[in-house]
Structure 1
């Protein structure tokens, strides 16, 4: 065998060994399934010379110099002022800007990369990333575990905070907004990719694109504010995530569960998800989720469900929610059953519940103890529940169930008259949408 061949085989063996042996002290269980050791998940970041960056950063001191001089594990408290990026942190550090430190990359590349574990970033203003989607230009990339990112102000960035293969970290109290771009070409305010067991709490994400979690499990999103974006939170192949106590206003979609299992959405306020695709909470081929005690108001569709629950012998539980003043309270598409709805409030919706076509087998879903503002019955024994079941039948509703474009004419005088005549003397058999055997007669009290 020639010397060249021996060197080639030695190089291949070394490369394979590097993939098999986890680096940075990580155990194999911490690495995403199928990815071997921690992979370099980023495209190569381009290097920009100073003259390529905006002139506002030309006279600023590079923040990288302070990071390079800091000892691993130390606390860095920079003097107040503005500094030039980019910054790469490849050792454990605590950096506390006290709310008086700005790092500006001059509208090129990524502002700061945290490629270390057990670190804390606090009280910094990060601004001026590039606008390339190819290299995921962002204000902050986080690539280590057990980190804390809190009280950052992030603006004029394509992507806000980007976590990849990052576990057990805390993202708390940050204010994030995107560049002034059309909605579809903004970056995500907060993105989790193959990142598990993280806490996302008390952040404000305004005028961004999405907050997304892909292949990321067991994360908690608590007490965040999302406004004027596309998806407040979009889960894809992300299981057992919890969304609680958040406020999502004026977004196209509130919370979307796509190809997920488990998880919960509870105690959230979702309002004004309007437009052609406006939706408070959405499901696509998802299973096992609990939706509890949410306020879903003034949305085009309160809940949109498509082939959910998807897995056999699973359910989706709706408990104690308020669906109010929506175009459609709940819309089921490709209905398979398995949705259990108890103790919810339906009031002021143009259509309480609808199907993407004829209802098929509405008895596959379970309805009990819900309050319906259009219930026509009495409570003679004063037990708080109607004497008769509440049945929702589709009369003129069948027109826009089968021809969605006809919804434009809903509530018009002609459609109202047609609906009245059909109820008075049906000339076709109406579809049964649902049957609540024990409807609430008195609207339950709810805390705002």
Structure 2
């Protein structure tokens, strides 16, 4: 908590761009002061090196950079920046030109700011125990691959990031950062809605990600929970809802993945010996592929999930690797063809998913174009009636649910 709050009001007009009045006020303010900025235009590329509160009240106070470097740099702990419009950073990726840059700080608050025309939105390097809440972030109008990240964590632990809206940025990326709570954020028209690298013990919940290339991707990470998230319309050749690569001891629970090219993408996960990943209570619906297994992926547990409306519920692109060592139990499969004679809501026989010879279309995009055509429909029928070759059992669910409402 800031112990000393001093109201410091600055009357300023657009002519202030001739000199950096805001930086002068910051330099003159005592630690713990409160700077309330009336509506107006303020010269950016400022540095906050002491505990201060800077409050724009209603986002009508605009801090504008000169198109080079970072607009607001924070190097002190105990800083609050809120209710501002921050815009017009530089364009250099190697310098991480950003709207707000935080370096080696703790207990900072970045709240309810509008950050636009900034290459990177909020860059956090060695930041801990801070609140990053309710900010709107939009990158520069560049092609997707050369935009900056909306939010970037680097060796930053135990932070709370909530209610932020990333629009047409590149990624929300978390590197070497642990113990963060990431909740109720929204990401649209980006690349990676949320991307983890070498992280652990993070919580990801109740986020909404639409129209991005990738929803959530966990790489080389462990001990994380993702629950209650909605991932929608991750399309294109790289489109997927939630991906795990070399990810161990994860819990994916109560998420909805809908209208994606691939719902779940699992690559060599879990990775650490004697660990499992729990995938429970998720709705994986109306995707091209429900689950895509890539490389050696064993010891995942799938319980009480709904697989509905997917073109293919399961895809395994490593035919010399069986996925039967993953556990499936109590899931709802919309293509289950069994009966429930005793009416307990559980299929009398297991749900067995086979790969027939006609599944060659899954690996050949030229053939995939004809999926749903009469020719492929006839092949599907003949493959079940009289298989061309011995079918391969991909998975077996011993207690399939008869109705999706049971899950």
TM-score when normalising by structure 1 = 0.85
Q: Is 2:266–2:297's contact at 8 Å kept on the other side of the alignment? A: no
Q: Is 1:56–1:106's contact at 8 Å kept on the other side of the alignment? A: no
Aligned to 1:39: none
Alignment of 1:166-185 (within 5 A): 166-185=127-146
Aligned to 1:72: 31
Query: Is residue 122 of structure 1 aligned with residue 99 of structure 2?
Result: no
Q: CA deviation at 1:75?
A: 1.3
Q: Distance in 2 between matches of 1:56 and 1:131?
A: 25
Aligned to 1:286: 247
Alignment of 1:124-273 (within 5 A): 124-143=84-103, 144-273=105-234
Aligned to 1:46: none
Match of 1:412 among 368, 373, 396: 373
Q: CA deviation at 1:316?
A: 1.0
| CA shift digits 1:105-129 (9 cap, x unpaired) | 1322110001000111111110010
Q: Distance in 2 between matches of 1:291 and 1:78?
A: 44
Aligned to 1:7: none
Query: Is residue 386 of structure 1 aligned with residue 347 of structure 2?
Result: yes
Q: Which deviates further from its counterpart, 117-126 or 191-200?
A: 117-126
Query: Is residue 429 of structure 1 aligned with residue 390 of structure 2?
Result: yes
Q: Distance in 2 between matches of 1:223 and 1:297?
A: 18
Q: CA deviation at 1:362?
A: 2.7
| CA shift digits 1:320-348 (9 cap, x unpaired) | 00011100000001133111000000000
Aligned to 1:350: 311
Secondary structure (helix, strand or coil) at the match of 1:444 reads helix
Return closer, same or farther for 1:108/1:62 CA change in 2, 3 Å cut-off: farther
Q: CA deviation at 1:401?
A: 4.5
Aligned to 1:103: 63
Q: Distance in 2 between matches of 1:310 and 1:157?
A: 37
Match of 2:50 among 66, 74, 91: 91
Q: Distance in 2 between matches of 1:63 and 1:415?
A: 68
Match of 1:442 among 389, 403, 406: 403
Return closer, same or farther for 1:336/1:78 CA change in 2, 3 Å cut-off: closer
| CA shift digits 1:68-114 (9 cap, x unpaired) | 12111111112321101110000011111102211001322110001
Q: Is 1:297–1:323's contact at 8 Å kept on the other side of the alignment? A: yes
Point out 4+ residue stretches in structure 1 off by more than 2 angstroms: 55-62, 359-363, 400-413
Q: Is 2:357–2:389's contact at 8 Å kept on the other side of the alignment? A: no
Q: CA deviation at 1:175?
A: 0.4
Q: Is 2:295–2:321's contact at 8 Å kept on the other side of the alignment? A: no
Aligned to 2:8: none
Q: Which deviates further from its counterpart, 60-69 or 346-355?
A: 60-69
| CA shift digits 1:216-259 (9 cap, x unpaired) | 11111100000000000000001111110000000000000000
Q: Is 1:323–1:329's contact at 8 Å kept on the other side of the alignment? A: yes
Q: Is 2:216–2:243's contact at 8 Å kept on the other side of the alignment? A: yes
Query: Is residue 376 of structure 1 aligned with residue 376 of structure 2?
Result: no
Query: Is residue 317 of structure 1 aligned with residue 278 of structure 2?
Result: yes
| CA shift digits 1:307-330 (9 cap, x unpaired) | 111111111110000011100000
What RMSD, in angstroms, separates the aligned Cα atoms of the two structures? 1.6
Return closer, same or farther for 1:257/1:281 CA change in 2, 3 Å cut-off: same
Q: CA deviation at 1:414?
A: 1.6
| Runs of 5+ consecutive residues of structure 1 not aligned to the other structure | 1-54
Q: Which structure's CA Rg is the greater one?
A: 1
Q: Distance in 1 between matches of 2:97 and 2:248?
A: 34
Higher strand share: 2
Q: CA deviation at 1:408?
A: 2.9
